[in-house]
Each structure stands twice: as structure tokens, then as C-alpha cells.
Structure 1
Amino acid sequence: MLYVKIHELRKRKFKVAQIAKELKISRPTVYKYLDMTFDEARAYTEQLLGRKKKLDHYKDWILAWLEEYPHLSSAQIHDWLLERYPDLLVGGSTVRSYVKDIREFYQIEKKVIVRQYEAVPEQPMGKQLQVDWGETKQKTIDNKEIKLYFMAFVLAHSRHKYMEWQARPFTTRDAIRCHENAFQFYGGRTEEIVYDQDHLITVSENAGQLLLTAEFQSYVNERKFNIYLCRRADPESKGMIENVVKYIKGNFADSRVFSNIEDWNDRALQWLQRTGNHQVHQTTKKRPAEVFLLEKQHLQPVSSLLSYESTNNQSITRSVSKDNTIRYKSNRYSVPLGTYQTMTENLVWVEVIGDEQQTLVIRREANGEIIAEHMISSEKGKLIQNRHHTRDRSKGIEELKQRLISYFEDPTQAAAYFDEISQRYPRYRRDQFAIIHKVIQQYPALIDTVLTKCMTEKLYNANDFRDIAHHLDTLHDEAMKGLQSFYNNSPKYSHIKASTRSLNAYTSILGGRA
């Protein structure tokens, strides 16, 4: 019958693709039967029926399931077979091929349950922001596995994206902090924000009446944006953000190795700039970063910080990273070295003062002493650092140099020598001074002679200083041993005590001045 139907449609000028679509079979099958005569087709069918296949024993089950549930996939049929026959050893490709043959032979069309979607009109600029959460498992640099959590944002018009990661599940306080960071990243907020029914922000939805958590309700009251909460099992209303979550998982996070959360967030922002917001969007056919430049002008301004009452004292704080910096408006600002401490919460209070030229003020406590001040940068991804917050690396070296100079009889000459070493080896001066310090400890009686030799010969190198000291010490020992041996082997002079040369004599032996 299949042979007859194929040739009948062919006589009616149907194309191969049209025949395949009409009969719900593959195009290779159409080509195969078109190349056969009727007798060849009958022989081929009889051959198929007579050939033993691994799943022939289960054919009745499979045929019954397909006739009753035409939409079933081969993966579901495979699962049902294993449910009834746990000892069945068969691969997925075998099941797919067998199900495909049965569908074609018995003309069982796979009825796909199609859900009707309504096209969502494009949102105007500055109208809507969509938010969702996600999580991934990443390999660490020591080949372990860690679970990471992220919060993603996307502007509905420009598709401009933002994300923030952390190594623990999000709390409502975390969600508020990420909202603030996103508003700073975008330079404003939209009129409306779309969410799923997440427990971090909602308690319940009663016939359209939203019940938000107390902490998030306080936040919404101050920021004054509208909330659109998606119904359960209704992903169409927030399809943009769901695609963003998949994009982040599949493009940024996939196969990326995790070292620490600060580095991970830095690389996430770099990925957004390089790929996430730079590549042409498949729907808009435009780069999100370029469209965002226009949409940004339609966002509503957001004050730099939240008020003390609205956020239970938490949303105007920032976490101090291990490198003693805080994040503000996509930049890092330094705090004094030692602000970060292990086994503590590491929170500081921040305040923005000024109008045209704004200053970021950082305190340990809400009304405590100021520990840092920075002019706020309009750029992104920058490290704004106060030089007073960094370790004075030259202080320790200077102290070491002064201590070494104090060992010499002529401090002026010693200071000139060490200054010359510092100029010649600025990156390795500590190592140079350390070698000389060991020489001083080992040959204290020789150091002034060695210094004079080095200055005369212009040998401004700690290794030369060490080698000369070692050589002088060797000459002195050999001379002493020779004299001692001479007097010991001569009875006539056994009562005479050997005299020793001064260090200047050994210096003259090396070619220096006596």
C-alpha cells in the first residue's frame, strides 16, 4: 500500500518533499520506493517482515502504545519498556530506529501537541526589566565541583543583560543588593519589573493580589517600580529572561573553571561586554549594547543609595572583597589594607555626597569614622585605588638598608654603595640586600675591606660582594695554616709565635689599594 500511495502521488506531480510530508515518511524512503518496481517493493517488504530484530518480541507493546498515544517519543517508549522489562538491554538509537520503522510501515503519524503562543509586542524603551535566577555546577581549579548561583536581568527592549553570581543560595537581602547593582549598571530603572513566583520576593498570589515578603515590599515602596508576577506554568510572559538564563549557562558558564567568586564575577562582566551584550540578537538583529545607548535615556533615575529605614540597614552596605575593595557602579574602590578580615561579615557603609562631582564615602559603621573617600568614576570595570590604602613596600626595604649601613665604619661610603645597588636593581634590591646581610653575619671583620674593594672596582652587585669576602677569608685561612705549619715543623722556631698580616695586605694582593 505504501508503494502504491507513493507512486500515485508521484503521478499527480507531487514533489518528493511533498510526498514525504503527505504520507508522514522520510524522503529517503520515498526515493527508495520510487526506484523500485512493484515486485521489488513486495519482496523488500517481505524481507523486512522476515528479518529478526531485537525488539520484535516487544512489537505488540510498542504498536499498541503508538496507536493509543501517537505523540509518544522514542525516548518515552524506551523508558516504558525498561519500566516493564528492567533487564532489557537496548540502546536509545535502536529504539529510535525501530519506532521510526513501525510508524512508517503502519502509517502512524506522530501527533505533536502544539501549544498556541501569542506574539508579544515589543516593549517600549524604559518600560520593562525581566529578572530570574539560575544555578550551575562548575569544576574548580583543584578539579572539584562547586554549585554556583546567579541572578540575571535583561531590558525587554534592548535585550541588554546583567548578571551577578555568588557561591551560596540567594536571600531576599541578596536579591535587593543585586537589584541595586543592576540599576547602577544600567544607570537607572524601568517602570516595570517582571518576576517568576519566587519565594525570595513573594509570599503568595491570591487571585491577582500580590503578597510580597516584608523586606522586598519595603524595597519596592522606596524604589517605586511596578511588579508583574508571572503565573505558574506561563513562561511566555518572561521568555526573554529564560533565554538569557539558558544563554548564560550554555555560553558563559559551560566548561569554565572556577577559582573564586570575585574572579568569576569579573569574568562575567567581561563576557557581557565581549559577547552577551555585543553579539547581534537573533530577534532584533541589533547589538544590545548599541540599542541600550538609546534606551538608557528613557530609564528613570535612581538615587545612589537607599534610605536607612527602608532596607533594615542592609541595602546601603557593601561587602569587602579579599583584595580590600568594594564594588560600586561596576567599579572597584579600595579600602585600607587590613579592612578585610577572615571569619567576619566584612560589611562597610557607603554614602554618596555631592551633586556634580560625587564622592563615595566609606565607613565601618553607619555613623562611624570615615575609612576611605573616592571620587566616583563614570567608567566601568575600573579599579579606583588610593595609594595610602596599599602596602608601602619601600618602607621595609629602606629600614633594611639603614640597618646594613650601620654595620660599616664609613656610613657615607656604605650609603653610596647601597644607593647604587638600588638604582641598578630596583626590582631585586631586597634580594641584593639580603645577600649582603648574610655576608655581614658570616664575615663581620672583612666587610669594610670588601666594601672598599667593591667601590674601587665599581662592583655594585651583592654576589660580587659575597665572592670577594669569601676569597679574602680563604686567603687568610691558607696563609695562617702555612705559617703555622712552618713554625711547627722547625724546632728552632717552635717557641716563636707567628704574626698575621692586616686585612689591607690581603686587599693589596687582590690588586686594590693597601
Structure 2
Amino acid sequence: MEEKLVLYIDIHRLHERKLRISQIARQLKVSRNTVYKYLNMTFEEAVEEFGTIERKKKLDPYRDWVVNWLQENPSMSGAQMLDWLQEKFPTIEVGESTVRRYVNEMREIYQIEKTAEPREYEAVVEQPPGKQMQVDWGQTIQKTTQKKEVKLYFIAFVLAHSRQKYMEWQDRPFTTRDTIRCHENAFRYFEGMPEEIVYDQDNLIAVSENAGDLILTKEFQQYVNERKFKIYLCRKADPESKGKIENVVKYVKKNFAIHRVFSTIEDWNEKAWKWLERTGNFKVHQTTKKRPFEVFLLEKQHLRKTSSTLSFSESNPTEIITRNVNKDNTIRFESNRYSVPIGTYTKCPQVKLQINGQQLIIVESTSGEILAKHTISLEKGRLIKNPNHARDRSRTIDTLKQHVLTLFPSTEESRQFTEEICHTYGRYRRDQLLLLQKVAEENPEWISTALKKCMREKLYSANAFRDIVDYLKRQQPEPILDILVDSTKSVSIPVETRDLKAYVQRMGGKVNE
């Protein structure tokens, strides 16, 4: 705590020079409350408090992360620091006040100044449950993983009574059809719809407004006619009418989006929905002093249930959305994964999605061929898979097995050997057969000998077969003939003979001519 003792001495030194509190705080880059606190302490009290061995704090194991985030993002609040810590370390258990004090202490020690950005609140009449929802759009500019910048767009929804929130992001501007699709997703998320929805005067939904007479866009008017909810359009320069959603938009920007790095829009939406569960709808609201998700459990009982399909959209499907195909031959849509036929990733890495009511149609980008159709799931984090899209693994393994047998001698032993391997290794039989194929193709002259040895010693393994082939190659420069190994066959082998005189001379005798 030596730094705090030094700070204590500097504050008193400047105070003796008749500097004002604000001047001292500005020069030392600390808060005025810190200056008052240190001026009210004697030197002995400072030594007693700061000169002792520093106590370990609960957040000390995360100190490097906290300091690094503050240095990269000086305006970061204690609330966002808590959210980032919970995202990085899901098992952490710490209160927001503890994080706030720790952040302030790190700012003092490392002289990281924060620009004050006070948040304003509007005093409005509270709405009864199920009565009203407010909607607004926003946009941000984010850094990407490639150190570039990208503009992102989002639409936010909030139930006026419980403050339960929902949002969706896009990497392109919203259209009317996007807006309708997101409304449907919000109704599914809230498990119902309110009586009235409050909007700004946005050209996505309204053409004009004249003394209360609304002229909506054609598509949105069709949507309102079917869903039968009331619309309230705010007047210009009238933020009080939609103060709740204004605060939500700022909250999303300042707590979720700021300082966050963008990779893909699917990943960004996944993180946004997790943020809602972890922070946006979980933390106590500063006005109601209640957690939105707890109040929502009561409010959703007052929401009107919606039908699963829209009749007007059946003949007027929404526009095509582009998606990349994942390596596992799936695409992501609304936090779920949907299957496409095996081989799509290799042949067509990008597809287009067409949403027709509750049906998701996946189309090949260039030819327009329909690759798959799925019913859109109302759940999150699921894999929706068509069984016909799966690989026929049994046929593939049978084909591989037959190919391996063509590389071996056409005997009952070869068939028994491969069958035993497939039975023994079961789950890994494909790997075993591929290894047998590799060894047989590279060493055809040693197959027969190695196979006989494996069968004789009951070594039913591709690895053992490979090791025996390697051993035989080291022991014999040339392959051993089958006729020498099979003792059941009688063969006539010519034997070299020498003249008797050669042996006599070898023994030292005389040879008579």
C-alpha cells in the first residue's frame, strides 16, 4: 500500500500550498471524495491503515484482467466489469458493490481516469401488466477480430411493466420484413403479446402521422391487422413517451456492446441473448428495485397468446438471408442449428435462407435448388436434424471392408481376420480398416506372411499387423516365400552338389589324376 501513502503525502503537500480541492483532485487524477478522505486523516492513521500488510481481496486473482480491461477501456463501469467477469469466469461469485470498490481502487493505483457519463431516468406512469411494450432501433460501430470496424444494427423490445427485454442484431440495416420477423421472435420470447406497442416515427412501419391518423406501410399494416395490437407513435422530440426503451437502447450500447469484439453475427446474437439472461433481465432494475425476470413471471400471464403462423406471410415469404454453412453441415438461425445434406459444406459453403411463416427453407446460392426444409424451433440452443441428411455409415464401412479384402489373399483367413478386427474395435473399425488398407497398399509382398503370423498368434489388430510387417522387413531384406512358410506342401527344391575331389583337397589328401 506504499502508493496510497505517497498519495496521502502529495495531497497534504498540495493542500499546504493553498490549492483547492478540485485542483488537487484534477492534478493527482483522483476523485474529490478521495481528497477529502485523505485530508481528514492524520499521518499516524494513514500509516496504520496503509502501512500494514495488504489484505487479500476477493478479486485479487482477477486483478490482471480488471486492470487490462480498464486500461483498454477507461470508461468501463463497475457494472459492465462485473458482467465481463461473469462471462469470462462463469463460476465467480461476487457482488456488484465489491467489484465497484475494486475497480475504483485499481483506478487510483494505476491512475486510470474515467469520464463521467451520468445516465438519465424519466418519471412516467407505470403501466399495468400485459398492457404495453416499447420498441426502438439502434446501431453501434464495433471492432472486429481483424482489427477493423463494422457497423451493427439492433432492434430492442421492453415490456413496460416488468422491464423484461429482448433484442436482435443484424450486420445490415433493418427492413420492414426484418422488423416483422423480430416481432414474432419477441412474442415467442415473451410467450405472448401486449395490447399496445409504442414506436418512434420510423419509416419501417409508418408512412406518415397526421393529428393521430396513422398511415402504416403496406406490409406492416397487414401484420397489425392480423396480430390485432394497438399502435402508439411518439411525437417528435417526445422522449418521455418511450423513456423505457430509450434507456434500454443506451443500456445495450453502454453495458453489452461497448468494448466488445465482433466475430460473426450469429456469435454476436448468441452473446446478446446470454447477456439478457445474465445481466439485462437478471439484475435489479434501478427504478422498480426488482429483477425484471421475476416480475415477468407474473406479467406473462396477462399477455395475449399468438397463433404459430401468419396467414398473410404464407403467400408472401420473407426475403432471402445469407448464411455460411458450418463444417458439420449445419447452419445457424435464431440460436439454433439446422442440418443440411452431408457434403454441402464442401460443395456449397454459403446458402440462402427463406422464412415462410414457421418454415425455414435452405436454398443453394447459385442454382436456387432447395437443400432442406425445417420447421422453425421455438426453443434455443437445439440441433434440428433431418435423418435423411445423415451419412449412411454402415454402407461406407462395408464398402471399405470389401476394398481391404481385395488387397489380401482370397482366403477364409483374410475374411476372418477383418471380421475379428471390426468386431473387436467396433466404434473404431473405420480407423482400423483404413490402417490395414494403408499397410497393404504400401507392402503387398509382406501381406501373406504377416497375416499368417497374426492368425497363428491371434493378434486381431491393424496396429499389430503393421508392426509385424515392419519386423519382417527389418529381419529379411527380401520377402519370405509362402512355400517356405507352409509346411503342409511338398516341393522339389534342387540341391547344389560338389565334386568329391574338392572335399579330398580340403582335407589335405592327394587326388589321383
Partner of 2:406: 406
Q: Structure 1 284/416 Cα, relative in aligned 2: closer, same or farther at 3 Å?
A: farther
Which residue among 158, 162, 173 is the counterpart of 1:154?
158
Q: How far has the Cα of 1:125 moved from its partner?
A: 0.9
Q: What is aligned with 2:206? A: 202
Aligned position for 2:451: 451
Could you tell me which runs of 5 or more consecutive residues in structure 1 were left unpaired when the two chains were aligned.
1-15, 17-25, 32-114, 352-359, 480-500, 509-514
Q: Distance in 2 between matches of 1:381 and 1:259?
A: 19
Is 1:313 aligned with 2:292?
no
Corresponding residue for residue 383 of structure 1: 383
Is 2:325 the partner of 1:322? yes
Superposed, which structure 2 residues align to 1:94-493 within 5 Å? 119-308=123-312, 313-315=316-318, 322-323=325-326, 324=330, 327=333, 332=337, 334=339, 336-337=341-342, 345-347=352-354, 349=356, 351=358, 379-393=379-393, 395-409=395-409, 412-422=412-422, 428-477=428-477
TM-aligned CA deviation for residue 293 of structure 1: 1.6
Of 122-131 and 379-388, deviating more is 379-388
Using the TM superposition, name which of 161-170 and 311-320 deviates more. 311-320
Shift of 1:170: 0.8
In structure 2, list runs of 5 or more residues that go unmatched.
1-20, 22-31, 38-119, 488-513
SS where residue 138 of structure 1 aligns?
strand
Contact 1:319–1:347 at 8 Å: present in 2 too?
no
Q: Which amino acid aligns with 2:481?
A: S
Distance change >3 Å, CA 293–CA 27, structure 1 → 2: closer
Query: Quick one: distance in 2 between partners of 1:288 and 1:277?
Result: 5
TM-score, normalised via structure 1 length = 0.61
Query: 2-side partners of 1:456 and 1:30: how far apart?
Result: 91
CA distance in structure 2 between the partners assigned to 1:122 and 1:412 by the alignment: 84
Answer yes or no: is the 8 Å Cα contact 1:361–1:370 preserved in 2: no
- How many residues align? The count is 368
Give SS of 1:406's match: helix
Contact 1:326 1:334 in 2 (8 A): no
Q: 1:407 to 1:252 in 2, by over 3 A?
A: same
User: How many angstroms apart in 2 are the aligned matches of 1:137 and 1:321?
Assistant: 23
Look up the equivalent residue of 1:313 and give its one-letter code: N
Contact conserved, 2:310 with 2:357, CA < 8 A, in 1? no
Q: Judge which range, 335-344 or 254-263, deviates more.
A: 335-344
After superposition, give the CA deviation of every residue in 1:3-49 in whole Å (9 maximum; x if it has no partner).
Answer: xxxxxxxxxxxxx9xxxxxxxxx999999xxxxxxxxxxxxxxxxxx
Question: Aligned pair in 2 of structure 1 residues 320, 438: CA closer, same or farther (>3 Å)?
Answer: same
Give the distance between the partners of 2:226 and 2:446, measured in 1 at CA: 76
Aligned to 2:55: none
TM-score, reference length from structure 2: 0.61
Query: How far has the Cα of 1:299 moved from its partner?
Result: 0.9
Is the CA contact 1:476–1:506 (under 8 Å) kept in the aligned structure 2? no
Larger Rg computed on CA atoms: 1
Structure 1 moving runs of 4+ over 6 Å = 26-31, 316-321, 360-365
- State whether residues 401 and 418 of structure 2, in contact with CA within 8 Å, keep that contact through their aligned partners in structure 1: yes
Distance 1:415 1:338 in 2: 32
> Which deviates the most, 379-388 or 197-206?
379-388
1:361–1:228 CA distance, 2 compared to 1 (3 A): closer
Q: What is the identity, as a one-letter code, of the residue corresponding to 1:407? A: L
2:481 matched residue in structure 1:
502
Q: Is the contact made by 1:318 and 1:350 (CA closer than 8 Å) also made in structure 2?
A: no
* In 1: Cα distance, 2:36 partner to 2:403 partner: 94
Q: CA deviation digits over 1:463-494, x for unaligned, max 9?
A: 33223223324444258xxxxxxxxxxxxxxx
CA distance in 1, matches of 2:389, 2:342: 5
CA–CA separation in structure 1 for the residues paired with 2:427 and 2:169: 37
What is the alpha-carbon distance in structure 1 between the residues aligned to residue 357 and residue 390 of structure 2? 20
What does the per-residue CA deviation read over 1:196-233, in whole Å, with 9 as the maximum and x for residues that have no partner?
12121122222332222222112111111111111222
Task: State the distance in 2 between where 1:420 and 1:259 align.
Answer: 48
Partner SS for 2:262:
coil
Offset of residue 426 of structure 1: 5.6
Kindly tell me: are residues 469 and 336 of structure 1, through their superposed partners in 2, closer, same or farther at Cα, counting changes over 3 Å? closer
Q: Taking structure 1 as reference, are residues 347 and 282 closer, same or farther at Cα in structure 2, changes over 3 Å only? A: same
- What's the CA shift for 1:429? 4.2
**Cα distance in 1 between the residues matched to 2:186 and 2:202:** 18
